[in-house]
Amino acid sequence: MRILVTGASGWIGSASVTELIAAGHQVVGLVRSDAGAAKVAALGAEFLHGSLEDLPALHAAAREVDGVVHLGYVHDFSRMDDAARIDRAAIETFGDALAGRGGPLLIASGTLGLARGRVGSELDQPDPAVHPRVANAAHALALAQRGVRSIVVRFAPTVHGAGGDHGFVAMLAHIARQRGVSGYLGDGANRWPAVHRLDCAALVRLAIERAAPGAVLHAVAEEGVATRDIAHAIGDALGLQTVAVAPEHAAEHFGWLAAFYGADAPASSAVTRESLGWTPRQPTLLADIAAGHYPGD
């Protein structure tokens, strides 16, 4: 297939480009800078200069391909509503371009906030009113009724790997370096799911090839890693003491990350493994931290 990939220069996107090309697909990566173009070209993909906000260009590009993998996102926490609006417009545009053609439209979502007090699954349908991004996923799934093979991949909040993760665990390592201790909140028994970046890429490729219209998939290799264990692994890797941080000092110690760090958010991927034959094969989160991939710079 010929696939347009947005976010092709990103953490998950660049791995997905490599995986798709290795499987024999042709990739056109959307990029917004010369550096992004050089990165995508080095992976063996074509590139198209453009922004997620240039809807006519997105429409024209999607008309020229068999499917779209939409992994680009404006990760600006100061304009979250704006980011979700841009994402929604891009999804609508891709839906219009692919309508009636049966090609895949894969979009990214997350597992955080899926279920309270239990393990979240692919069958959970979060209330679209909770967050505009949840509504975007519901909107994408509904495109199946218009002849689009729409697929939502909910990524674990920790997509780890070597060289360049800038997500939550990288931020925790950075905070640990700044504070001189590696902290967890309360008793640290709360869990976060995790998945390796290369296992994500394998799932994206399988989904493009095999997922049914309207599929919800979980990129989750480890159902839940206790945040206490994450903190200990960071402390050991950085040669720092690991300490419990009392909830009343959470915001002071962890900044805005405190709101997420205390959450217990295990998620399963049983449906995804069963339906696509996806088997995560890469190192675990704690192994990646122990390997020194989170220097906290």
Q: Which residues lie near ligand NAP (CB under 6 A)?
A: 7, 9-13, 30, 32-33, 36, 51-53, 71-75, 108, 110, 155, 157-159, 167
Q: Which residue is nearest to ligand NAP (CB)?
A: 10
Element (H, E) at 203: helix 197-210
CA distances from residue 64 to 42, 52, 58, 97 in whole angstroms, order as listed: 22, 17, 10, 9
* CB nearer to ligand NAP: pick between 50 and 147: 50
C-alpha to C-alpha distance for 142 and 123, rounded to whole angstroms? 15
How far apart are the C-alpha atoms of 31 and 24, rounded to whole Å? 21
Strand partners, 243: 183
Provide, rounded to whole angstroms, the least separation between the CB of residue 161 and ligand NAP: 10
**Smaller CB distance to ligand NAP: residue 35 or 142?**
35
Shortest spacing between CB 121 and ligand NAP, in angstroms = 17
Q: Name the minimum Å distance from CB 36 to ligand NAP.
A: 4
Q: Which is nearer to ligand NAP, 33 or 145 (CB)?
A: 33
* Residue number, 5 or 176, with CB nearest to ligand NAP: 5
Q: Cα separation of 3 and 126, whole Å?
A: 29
We find the least distance from the C-beta atom of residue 277 to ligand NAP, in angstroms, to be 22
SS3 47: strand
Q: Nearest approach, Cβ of 41 to ligand NAP (angstroms)? A: 13
Half-sphere exposure of 117 toward its Cβ, with a 13 Å CA cutoff? Answer: 0
Give the residue with the Cβ less far from ligand NAP, 133 or 228. 133
Handedness of CA 28, 34, 40, 45 (dihedral sign): positive
User: Which pair of structure tokens corresponds to residue 175?
Assistant: 């905070």
